Amino acid sequence: MNFPKSRLSRLRKNKEIRALIQENTVGVNDLITPIFVTEGLNKKVAIKSMPNYFCFSIDLLLKEIFECTSLGLNCFLLFAKIPESLKDNSGLEACNPKGLMQRSIKKIKSVFPNIILMSDVALDPYSIFGQDGIVKDNQIDNDITIDVLSEMALSHVDSGVDFVAPSDMMDGRVKSIRTILEKNKYFKTGIMSYSAKYASSFYGPFRDALDSSPTSNMDKRSYQINPSNSKIAMLEAKQDILEGADIIMIKPGMPYLDILNMISKEYNVPVAVYQVSGEYSMIYSAHIKGWLNLDDVIIESCIAFKRAGATLISTYFSKKIAKLISEKKFYL
Ligand code: PBG
């Protein structure tokens, strides 16, 4: 209407002007790096459906973390691959003070006291059914599960973790975890709750990594959110905040930017988004085929998370992103 007085492309004329007015960018402090640990020594196990991503034994994981910290990455989200022989339907191993998760936390925090270490709290890596909770008559028993999850969370915190990250989607688990932490005087331990976690098919490669796929007779739709719905995600977030969550998370990332945007506008807590394994694998495999430019797509996806309202981004691309940040590639 105001043309030629207003030419909106004036502010896109060159890189410098675009940088001057760019609204969103990404810094290393915005990133959470997921890490996978397995039993053994000197092990670096490739994950078949996550090209160039690995599950490490504790000794090599320490080296990996060191490499990440030298790139400026300082926040890690730990997952453990539990041997088949230790899985059951009780969550016993999940609470074992000498379990793989607990030993890893102790070791990592003793070597890197200043990193922020977060741990996944859910039963699926420990479950013979690949379910996040305890199964009774083909259903998850919510209330028994949250008691076990709280014990599990406490054992992680006893081992030295800075944040627990319940990813199970049981009702009332944040309240239950917050209560047990308060009771044990862990007043300053954080809870990053997976509040809006959808029943997504984009988690497939992660389940390959931990060998934690649900058994065929039961999926996770009775507790993770229906991908068709958005209002319920608001309620989930609200409840978790009221129950004591410090950071809330939306997951997956790119297919759920609307949810991320809605929640980050509504609530005044830091909001994390998880660019999940399936998103990683789609982008990475297209790169291997030569169909997409890896760096450019990673940058664009991260900027999109920021634009939608994310404070934090959990992503398997974090090392790559840290390098791109240091090369100032995030100005488009
Ligand atoms: C376990 C958990 C899952 C993911 C994070 N924590 C899988 C699931 O719920 O089935 C997925 C992460 C990813 O796909 O990258 N509760």
The verdict on residue 152 lying in a domain is yes
Q: Name the domain count of the chain.
A: 1
Range of the domain at 190: 25-326
The verdict on residue 9 lying in a domain is no
Which residue lies with its CA nearest to atom 2 of ligand 1?
167
What is the helix, strand, coil percentage profile of the chain, to 5? 45, 20, 35
249 lines ligand 1 (CB under 6 A): no
Q: Report the C-alpha gap between 298 and 315 in whole angstroms.
A: 10
The verdict on residue 6 lying in a domain is no
Q: Is 289 a catalytic residue?
A: no
Nearest ligand 1 atom, CA 125:
1
CA 311 – ligand 1 centroid, Å: 20
Contact 180, 153 (CB under 8 A): yes
Contact 187, 225 (CB under 8 A): no
The verdict on residue 216 lying in a domain is yes
Q: Report the C-alpha gap between 206 and 280 in whole angstroms.
A: 10
Find tokens 């379910």 and name the residue.
131
pTM: 0.97
Q: Report the C-alpha gap between 156 and 103 in whole angstroms.
A: 9
CA 37 – ligand 1 centroid, Å: 15
206 lines ligand 1 (CB under 6 A): yes
Per-residue pLDDT of the chain (332 residues; tens, 9 = 90+): 799 999 999 999 999 999 999 999 999 999 999 999 999 999 999 999 999 999 999 999 999 999 999 999 999 999 999 999 999 999 999 999 999 999 999 999 999 999 999 999 999 999 999 999 999 999 999 999 999 999 999 999 999 999 999 999 999 999 999 999 999 999 999 999 999 999 999 999 999 889 899 987 889 999 999 999 999 999 999 999 999 999 999 999 999 999 999 999 999 999 999 999 999 999 999 999 999 999 999 999 999 999 999 999 999 999 999 999 999 999 98
List residues bridging with 198 in a β-sheet.
Answer: 225
Contact 140, 222 (CB under 8 A): yes
The verdict on residue 96 lying in a domain is yes
Which residue lies with its CA nearest to atom 14 of ligand 1?
203
The verdict on residue 11 lying in a domain is no
- How would you write 284-320 as a 3-class SS string? HHHHHHCCCCHHHHHHHHHHHHHHHCCCEEEECCHHH
The verdict on residue 3 lying in a domain is no
CATH of the domain at 316: 3.20.20.70
CA 280 – ligand 1 centroid, Å: 13
The verdict on residue 110 lying in a domain is yes
